[in-house]
Amino acid sequence: MSVCTEWDAYINDFRLSNTMWFAELSNGEKVLQDDGRPGESPPSAWVRLVDYCRDNDLYIKKLYFSNGDGLTHPFEDEDGLEGAFFVKGVSGDMFSDDTTYSYIFGNVDGDQLRIKKYSVPDCQFITDSEIRQLTEDNVKFIIFKNKNAKRKLSEVGHK
């Protein structure tokens, strides 16, 4: 299991057909989303990043994404995000053929998760008003800041 820290042929191809997130870590590394990379398990780059940060005592300072038309910064803090969260979303209507795909970013604020949603691939802002409680399910996808008391919850892990 590893995270992608360099542009390579896979990233160049991935980038042509996908919206892509980037994370700047507390040790200065920049990690790139490389979902589905052959030979990597699990296939989710975010799940690999959660485990990598937990195993190496790292956290995220900046989290951003792009569809090739510039960068969008849902969350950043030079002192480190208390807890960075990411999942992909999909929604639709029962009486329509329309399907909306989204990138859902969050940052821990106390005992809550503040959410920002963006549609993909166009990176249009959907909402930032959603607040979720921390649960055993969503904490698996949070990268907590070093020495955060809630970090113990992330030990449920993905292994």
Closest CA to 3 of 49, 51, 43, 53: 49
Residue reference for tokens 């993909």: 120
CB neighbourhood size of 74 (10 A): 23
pTM as predicted: 0.86
User: Span 50-67, mean pLDDT?
Assistant: 92
User: Span 68-81, mean pLDDT?
Assistant: 82
Determine the pLDDT at residue 147. 54
Torsion angle of C-alpha atoms 10, 25, 100, 154, degrees rounded to 10? 110
* Phi, psi of 91, deg, nearest 5: -145, 160
pLDDT bucket at 55, cuts 50 / 70 / 90: very high
Closest CA to 62 of 94, 98, 27, 90: 27
Q: Are 117 and 106 in contact (CB under 8 A)?
A: no
| Calpha distance 126→146 (Å, rounded) | 30
Inform me whether the pLDDT recorded for 61 exceeds 80. yes
pLDDT in tens, 83-118: 999 999 898 888 888 888 899 999 998 888 999 998
Inform me whether the pLDDT recorded for 37 exceeds 80. yes
User: Span 51-59, mean pLDDT?
Assistant: 93
Inform me whether the pLDDT recorded for 159 exceeds 50. no
Beta-strand relationship, 99-109 and 83-92 = antiparallel
Determine the pLDDT at residue 156. 46
pLDDT bucket at 76, cuts 50 / 70 / 90: confident
All structural domains of the chain with their residue ranges:
9-156
Dihedral of alpha carbons 108, 113, 119, 124, sign = negative
pLDDT in tens, 128-158: 678 999 888 888 999 998 555 454 555 544 4
